[in-house]
Amino acid sequence: MTDKKIISLIRNGNRNRAIKELYGLYPKVKKGVLSNGGTEDDAREVFHDSLVLLIEKIEKPDFELTSKLSTFLYGINHFKWMNEMRKQQKSPETRWNDAIQVKAEEVDYDEERDELLKSLAKVLNTVSDKCKKIITLFYYQKKKMTEIAVELEFSSVNSAKTQKYKCMERAIKLGRELVKDKSEVSL
C-alpha cells in the first residue's frame, strides 16, 4: 500500500486499516529497540507512541509528505528510544539498523508537550466513565451532541451538553492545578 493511500485512509476516518498497514513496520523497530537494551514491552510502547504522533501529524490539515512514512516512523522511533535511554541514564548505543538519523525538529517532536499530554491523560483517567465516553465520542470520533445524547441515553441534548461541560470543567480545574504544580517544581 502506498503512502498516499495510507494518508487518505487516515483522513477519511478509516484509521483501523491504516494502523494495520503501518504495523508491518513494527518488527524492524522491535529489532532496533531490542538491540539497544530495551525489552519487547518498551518496543511496543515506543512504537505505539510513534504511531500516535504520526497519525496526529497526518490528520493536521497542513500536513505535507516530505519523506516516506516508513522513514518518518523509523526516525521518530529511533529518536524516542534514544531519549528514553538518556532518561534512564544509559549511554545509548547507536546500533539502530536501517533507521535514518533524524533531528527533533525534522519529526516535529516536542518532548515537553508530550510529557504534558501524558500527565493530562492521567487527569482524564480520574473523571467518571460517562465523562470519558462523552469526551471520546465528541472529540475523537467527532460525533454531534445530538447523536451522543441518543447513544448515551440522555433525556435531552441540553442535559448532555451540561454533562459535558461539567466533565470538562472538572478536568480543566485538575489540569490547571497540575500545570501550576509543574511550573512551581521547575522554578
Partner 1 sequence: MRNDLQFLEEVDNYLSGSMNSSEKLAFENTINQNAELKEVFETQRDLIDAAKRKALLAEIESVAAGFHGTSWIAANAKWILSVLVVGAIAVSAIFIFSVEENNMASNSHEPLGDTTNKLVSGVNFDTNETEKISIPEGVTPVDNQEEEEPDFTFFPVSNDLSFFPTFREFNRLKFEDQSHSQVEESQVDYTVVQSKKINTKIYNRSASFPDGNLELKTFVNKNLKYPLEAASKNIEGNVKVDFIVDQEGNISEVTAQCFNLNKANGDFSEPFSAVQMFFNKKVSRAFEEEALRMMELMPIWTYATNNRGKAIVSEVRLYFDFNYPSETIVYQLEESTEKKEKFGGFKYE
Q: Does 170 bind partner 1 (CB under 8 A)?
A: no
d(CA 41, CA 59): 27
On the CB side of 127, CA atoms within 13 Å amount to 24
DSSP code of 55?
Answer: H
Tell me which of 26, 57, 63, 83 binds partner 1, using CB under 8 A. 26
Shortest separation between residue 104's beta carbon and partner 1, angstroms: 18
Tell me which of 57, 106, 168, 182 binds partner 1, using CB under 8 A. 168
User: Which residue shows C-alpha cell 504495523?
Assistant: 23
d(CA 26, CA 30): 6
Contact string 52-71 vs partner 1 (x = CB under 8 A): x--xx----x----------
Cell of 98: 536501517
Other C-beta atoms lying within 10 Å of the C-beta of residue 140: 8
Contact string 105-144 vs partner 1 (x = CB under 8 A): --------x--xxx-xx-xx----------xx--xxxx--
Q: CA of 61: how far to CAs of 3, 5, 9, 11, in Å?
A: 16, 16, 14, 9
Q: Does 48 bind partner 1 (CB under 8 A)?
A: yes
Q: Does 161 bind partner 1 (CB under 8 A)?
A: yes
Q: Where are the beta strands (DSSP E) in 15-123?
A: none
**Closer to partner 1 at the Cβ: 2 or 162?**
162
Q: Does 151 bind partner 1 (CB under 8 A)?
A: no
Are 9 and 15 spatial neighbours (Cβ–Cβ below 8 Å)?
yes
Q: Does 146 bind partner 1 (CB under 8 A)?
A: no
Interaction site with partner 1 (CB under 8 A): 15-16, 19-20, 23, 26-27, 44, 48-49, 51-52, 55-56, 61, 113, 116-118, 120-121, 123-124, 135-136, 139-142, 161-162, 165, 168-169, 171-172, 175-176, 179
